[in-house]
Every structure is written in structure tokens, then in C-alpha cells.
Amino acid sequence: MQEHIFERMARERNISAEEMRAIISDRIEKGWNDKDPVKREQWRKIPCAGEIPTPDEWLSYVIKKIKADGQGSLLKKYLIW
């Protein structure tokens, strides 16, 4: 079974995957509620099923954006799928 990116990020930081997801969730929430309307608008482009994107929704959005921007080769270096 392949390692999920959050597991890899957690392992590299010597924390649990749950802690890594909590860190990402916190960053999403801060961006979602940023005082700068331009930054806030960027975060609100992330499609989500609920009120605010989950770490997995954020990751999916980032991957799609990287591919759309023609930078898919970056994914091979950083992601294990």
C-alpha cells in the first residue's frame, strides 16, 4: 500500500498523520478567514462539500491546479500515490 502525502509529511516532521491534518486544517481556516479580501477569495475558490474545505479537498484542489498550470512534473517529486 502506498503512503498518503499527509502520512509522508507527518513522518518527515515526526508527528502523527492526525496532527498533520490538524495543522493543515488550521491553515485552511486561517486562510478562509484572512482579513485580506484577496487572500480570502483565493481560499474560497477551493471546492468543498461543507462550510470550509477539508485537508483532502484542499489537496485535491492543489493537485488539479498544479496540473492545470502545466507543472505536473512537480507531483512526481513530492507525492507518493
Tens digit of pLDDT per residue, the chain (81 long)? 567 888 988 999 999 999 999 999 999 999 999 999 999 999 999 999 999 999 999 999 998 998 888 887 777 765 544
Reduce the DSSP state of residue 7 to 3 states and report it.
helix
Q: What is the pTM of this model?
A: 0.81
Cell readout for 6 is 499527509
Helix then strand then coil, % of the chain, to nearest 5: 65, 0, 35
Q: Which residue has the cell 508527528?
A: 15
**d(C-alpha 36, C-alpha 10), whole Å:** 29
Contact residues for 25 (Cβ-Cβ < 8 A; gap 6+): 54, 55
